[in-house]
Amino acid sequence: MADRYLNFTGTPPGRFLTRRLGLPQPAPLRRWSPERPSLEGQLLHVTAGESAHREALASVLAGTGLDVVQAAERPAGVVVDATAVAGLDTLAEVHAALHPVVRSVEASGRVVVLGALPSADDHHQAAAQQGLEGFVRSLGKEIGRGRTVNLVRIAAGAPATAAESTLRFLLSPKSAYVSGQVIEVGGTGGELTVPESWERPLAGRTALITGAARGIGEAVAETLVRDGAQVVLLDVPSAEADLAKVAERLGGRALPLDITAADTGERIAEFVDALDVLVHNAGITRDRRLANMPAERWSSVLDVNLASVLRTTDTLLKAGAVRRGGAIVATASIAGIAGNAGQTNYAASKAGIVGLVRSLAPRAAAEHGVTVNAVAPGFIETKMTAAVPLFIREAGRRMNSLAQGGLPVDVAETTSWLASPGSGAVSGQVVRVCGQSLLGA
């Protein structure tokens, strides 16, 4: 469904009127396209304090294809290395570095702050590092013009290269709808490998996507194929015709299957032999307030969104069907983080995904060499959200820092970054793809 308000604010009278009325000013977002796959221009690299990562980071940033500089008039991106921030004096250097340039960052530009994990033994370092989170989340809310602001924390002892895939993603048009996020790298991650090609990191890899007949799942499949993967597309047997069409279009294989079947894991293992990427995307809603919610509505949502994910993951990991260096990406939702009236069942299932990811990640890394992460979409323009009544839909669209809904491809790009062999150091993360939604912020 077209976002007419976004189109209107793009016209001179629309801009004039909405500004005068103090209404949201969504900017058209720059997304990935084959013609313009990267940001263009200068990437400003600044450092607060004495960072141990300075040189290694400079070479990681050089890999983005941007022109890395120490001073810039109109940067397309700014990276502030604040890993050495250990107190309020070095925290002030972050302010000093960004204050003069923030206004001149290009539209759809990127600000990435690199931090360290807040220390358990040094409360001054912890205060300053936690301070970065408030800083980043606030700047994300005020920066406007389609620009995003994110914080990447590098675990103690991890090299700057642990952040490479994440920086490449955040400093590209692929992360257009990801803002206000805090992402930790180098902690519970698996093996850190560099893909042969950053353009096609999934070449030679097999990915299975559940709920792939339409919506976000279809977009995920398409993006993983773009990035080199061979795909197996799973959806309910009643969606077989649509599934076959998507499979044909993408050169993938269709697996019509209801994931609530007890033997789903075994059936998948039989069909594919081994997988590199497992994307748990299938999900349903059956909204009702708790007082009006019969047990069937509760159990059907919990069964599809969480029980099946737990069961299938367990079976496939136990069978060794997810190869070392592989990735599991599950789909949560901002409703699972913020809660939503009428969605006790759905939010419980999606919060359950967050619990699953955080708990399983260290063990999956140690025992299987597999990463486990979640994407948590916000308001995404799909058939599901087009069916939402107009007023609620408009509110959902605008109540985020980018003042618009995301597209299925935004979730797909995030999934592909997490699925990449270059993201072996990223695990146990829940990344919201929500334009920095005010819900669950």
Instruction: Please give the Cα distance from 131 to 153 (Å, whole number).
Output: 13
Q: Which stretch binds ligand NAD (CB under 6 A): 18-26, 47-55, 136-144, 207-215?
A: 207-215
Q: Which of residues 108-147 bind ligand NAD (CB under 6 A)?
A: none
Calpha distance 356→428 (Å, rounded): 9
For residue 288, the number of C-alpha atoms closer than 13 Å in the C-beta half-sphere is 13
Cα separation, 413 vs 128, in Å, equals 32
Compute the distance between CA of residue 175 and CA of residue 169 in angstroms, rounded to an integer: 6
Q: Considering only CA atoms, which of 80, 130, 78, 73 is closest in space to residue 104?
A: 73
Catalytic one of 346, 349, 376, 439: 346
Residue 358 CB, nearest approach to ligand NAD (Å):
18
Give the shortest CB-97-to-ligand NAD separation in angstroms: 35
Return the number of the residue (283 or 326) whose C-beta is nearest ligand NAD: 283
Residue 115 — φ and ψ, nearest 5°?
Answer: -125, -175
Q: Which amino acid is at 244?
A: A
CB of 40 to ligand NAD, least distance (A): 30
Region of 61-69, 70-78, 113-121, 378-386 interacting with ligand NAD (CB under 6 A): 378-386
What DSSP designation does 104 have?
A: G
Q: Which stretch binds ligand NAD (CB under 6 A): 104-112, 131-139, 355-363, 382-390?
A: 382-390
Interface residue with ligand NAD, options 214, 311, 368, 432 (CB under 6 A): 214
Among 187, 189, 211, 421, binds ligand NAD (CB under 6 A): 211
> Which residue in 49, 140, 201, 215 binds ligand NAD (CB under 6 A)?
215
380 binds ligand NAD (CB under 6 A): yes
* Least distance from ligand NAD to the Cβ atom of residue 337, Å: 10
Contact between 383 and ligand NAD (CB under 6 A)? yes
* Residues with Cβ within 8 Å of residue 168, at least 6 apart in sequence: 63, 64, 198, 422
* 161 near ligand NAD, rule: CB under 6 A: no
Which residue from 207, 239, 255, 426 is in contact with ligand NAD, where contact means CB under 6 A? 239
CB 277 within 8 A of CB 261: no
| Nearest alpha-carbon partner for 107 in 176, 174, 36 | 176
Please, where are the H alpha helices in 295-379? 295-302, 308-318, 335-338, 344-368
User: Binding mask 260-289 vs ligand NAD (x if CB under 6 A, - otherwise)?
Assistant: x--------------------xxxx-----
Per CB under 6 A, which region of 31-39, 82-90, 117-125, 254-262 contacts ligand NAD?
254-262
Residues linked to residue 254 through DSSP beta bridges, in sequence order: 233
Q: For residue 385, state whether it binds ligand NAD (rule: CB under 6 A).
A: yes
Give the distance, in angstroms, between the CA of residue 256 and the centroid of all CA atoms in the same chain: 27
* CA atoms of 18 and 377, how far apart (whole Å): 27
**Does 258 sit near ligand NAD (CB under 6 A)?**
yes
Q: For tokens 């994407």, name the residue.
A: 375
> Which residue, 165 or 385, has its beta carbon nearer to ligand NAD?
385
Query: Considering the complex, what minimum distance in angstroms separates the CB of residue 300 from ligand NAD?
Result: 9
Backbone angles phi, psi at 233, to 5 degrees: -110, 120
Q: What angle do CA 97, 31, 340 make, to 5 degrees?
A: 85
Q: Is 304 one of the binding residues for ligand NAD (CB under 6 A)?
A: yes
* 346 has catalytic annotation: yes
| Nearer Cβ to ligand NAD (9/331) | 331
**Position among 77, 201, 217, 428 found at the interface with ligand NAD (CB under 6 A):** 217
Instruction: Using alpha carbons, list the distances in angstroms from residue 231 to 216, 415, 417.
Output: 15, 14, 16
Nearer to ligand NAD, 216 or 365 (CB): 216
Is 331 a binding residue for ligand NAD by CB under 6 A? The answer is: yes
Which string of DSSP letters, residue by residue, matches 27-60?
Answer: -------SSS-S--SEEEEEESS--TTHHHHHHH
Number of residues engaging ligand NAD in binding (CB under 6 A): 27
Query: Does 236 contact ligand NAD by CB under 6 A?
Result: yes
Q: Tell me which of 105, 259, 360, 403 binds ligand NAD, using CB under 6 A.
A: 259
The residues that are catalytic are 346
Q: Which residues bind ligand NAD (CB under 6 A)?
A: 210-211, 213-217, 235-236, 239, 258-260, 281-284, 304, 331, 333, 377, 379-380, 382-385
